[in-house]
Amino acid sequence: MSKGTVVLAYSGGLDTSCILVWLKEQGYDVITFLANIGQDEDFEAARKKAESLGAKKVFIEDLRSEFVEDFIWPTVQANAVYEDRYLLGTAVARPCISRRQVEIARREGAQFVSHGATGKGNDQIRFELTCYALYPEVEIIAPWRIPEFYNRFRGRKDLMEYAQQHGIPVPVTPRAPWSMDANLMHISYESGILENPKSHAPADLYLMTKNPENSPNAPDVLEIEFRNGVPVKVTNEKEGTSKDSPLEIFSYLNVIGGKHGVGRIDIVENRFIGMKSRGIYETPGGTILLKAHLDIETFTMDKEVRRIKQGLGIKFSELVYNGFWYSPECDFVRHCIAKSQDNVEGKVQLSVFKGQVYILGRESPKSLYNEELVSMDVQGDYDPCDASGFIRINAVRLREHHRLQGLSGTNSAKK
């Protein structure tokens, strides 16, 4: 008798194929779900593999457009960067995948969901917090946290032996000595030989971007048009080509950024679970958009609003990284950030060249830039004499601090 139905987040790889068969051994009916979020994958081969291994149903869902519009665009509006460097490509994909996994589970009457995330990483948290938020009654089966599973499969060798015993097709090409996760926004690399933080990344590791040294010797000049803080059109000014749908815009920026080696980082970051990890990331399109959005935002947004919004962007980045996309606080922060983008509208011209993005110019009907006011050659409505009082008022605090504490501190030191 079946223990119930489980929806497994399936990749078609060795780990989740073994998990599929193992779940069946435990007495579950298994539905597999594979999300297309822009990774290079043979989806039809994955379908056939899951069916051959006994999946009750196989769902392959194209989530690329909603990934861009519902998840990547809010990160662009937020200028979302975790710990000053990581553009959250994996973190922002997890709630997108989990949302659809839960929809399938509810529709199919499945009481359980399962995933192949390890017990040491962030992804287990991101997947499960989303599932619990959107399907509070769900039960989660996380094999890599179940002693009977992880004691049985202590490494890749054990998985390979299990696969051969159960007729699971095994990879015929040698495995790269690191793990990789790819989607439309980025590719991440970690583990294996990369766990030594001193070891340099091999030259053949990068799949999404060219080495800047080998990139073209002429730049691509782009114009990106924004409305409400999100890109609505990108034009290559030399070629005269343009893209205006969200998926096409982001895909095209990936191509241009990848061609010029933009968006590579090698960092050590702080995982939510409490340990540091080394990760290497390629985020070409996201890096171009971050530079462009920062520019148009500063051009059109009030200084004090932007100061508050910067703090919200940092908080948003932490919430997304830690898996709280569907928390009430993240919902509140997203709404505040979206409101801040009401007037973030206009066009940014930029050059993409040899691993860098260079801003060339910008224009906006909502600009707060007053050329006459700021000009050194035109006085306009500004009276320079007013600056004297402004400086004196701001100096009151500094004078008093150094008169009272600075002087006493000096005298104490002399004694």
Q: Identify each DSSP E strand in 17-90 by its residue range.
A: 28-36, 57-62
Please count the other Cβ atoms lying within 10 Å of the Cβ belonging to residue 42: 10
Verify whether residue 94 is a known catalytic residue.
yes
pLDDT of residue 288: 98
pLDDT of residue 369: 92
Annotated catalytic residue within 47, 94, 334, 362: 94
pLDDT of residue 313: 98
Element (H, E) at 233: strand 230-236
Burial grade of 282 (CB within 10 A; 0-12, 13-18, 19 or more)? buried
143, 150 contact by CB (below 8 A): yes
pLDDT (tens digit per residue) in 79-137: 999 999 999 999 999 999 999 999 999 999 999 999 999 999 999 999 999 999 999 99
7, 104 contact by CB (below 8 A): yes
Tokens of 225: 């048009």
Residue 408 has pLDDT above 60, yes or no: no
Please count the other Cβ atoms lying within 10 Å of the Cβ belonging to residue 2: 10
Verify whether residue 47 is a known catalytic residue.
no
pLDDT of residue 370: 87
What is the arithmetic mean of pLDDT over 287-294? 98
pLDDT (tens digit per residue) in 157-204: 999 999 999 999 987 677 888 999 999 999 999 999 999 999 999 999
Percent of the chain at pLDDT > 90 equals 90
pLDDT of residue 409: 58
Q: Which CATH number fits domain 5-175: 3.20.20.70, 3.10.450.40, 1.10.3720.10, 3.40.50.620?
A: 3.40.50.620
Please name which of 121, 101, 93, 92 lies closest in space to residue 9, comparing C-alpha atoms: 101
What is the arithmetic mean of pLDDT over 301-326? 98
337, 78 contact by CB (below 8 A): yes
Distance CA 164, CA 65 (A): 38
Place of tokens 């601090």: 401
pLDDT of residue 407: 66
pLDDT of residue 378: 74
Please count the other Cβ atoms lying within 10 Å of the Cβ belonging to residue 217: 6
pLDDT of residue 58: 98
Number of H helices, E strands in the chain: 15, 14
Distance CA 295, CA 371 (A): 17
Distance CA 244, CA 72 (A): 16
Domain boundaries, the chain: 5-175, 180-363
7, 8, 11, 15: CA torsion to nearest 10? -170
pLDDT of residue 374: 78
What is the arithmetic mean of pLDDT over 36-45? 95
Q: What is the mean pLDDT of the chain?
A: 95
pLDDT of residue 357: 98
pLDDT range class, residue 361, cuts 50, 70, 90: very high
Place of tokens 């097709």: 169
Residue 307 has pLDDT above 60, yes or no: yes
Backbone angles phi, psi at 76, to 5 degrees: -65, -45
Tokens of 414: 């002399």
Annotated catalytic residue within 65, 70, 179, 266: 179
Distance CA 220, CA 238 (A): 7
Annotated catalytic residue within 29, 123, 220, 295: 123
108, 57 contact by CB (below 8 A): yes
pLDDT of residue 412: 54
CATH, range 180-363: 3.90.1260.10
pLDDT of residue 170: 81
Annotated catalytic residue within 11, 15, 29, 362: 15
pLDDT range class, residue 410, cuts 50, 70, 90: low
Residue 285 has pLDDT above 60, yes or no: yes
How distant, in Å, are the alpha carbons of 139, 222, 235 from that of 361?
53, 11, 14
- SS3 sequence, 86-137? ECCCCCCHHHHHHHHHHHHHHHHCCCEEECCCCCCCCHHHHHHHHHHHHCCC
Verify whether residue 204 is a known catalytic residue.
no
- Give exposure, 118-157, as e/b (b: 16+ Cβ within 10 Å): beebbbbbbbbbbbbbbbeebebbbbbeeeebeeebeeee
Verify whether residue 179 is a known catalytic residue.
yes
pLDDT (tens digit per residue) in 3-39: 999 999 999 999 999 999 999 999 999 999 999 999 9
pLDDT of residue 415: 55
What is the arithmetic mean of pLDDT over 252-280? 97
The yes-or-no answer to whether 5-175 and 180-363 have a common fold is no
Distance CA 10, CA 219 (A): 40
pLDDT range class, residue 235, cuts 50, 70, 90: very high
What is the arithmetic mean of pLDDT over 325-348? 98
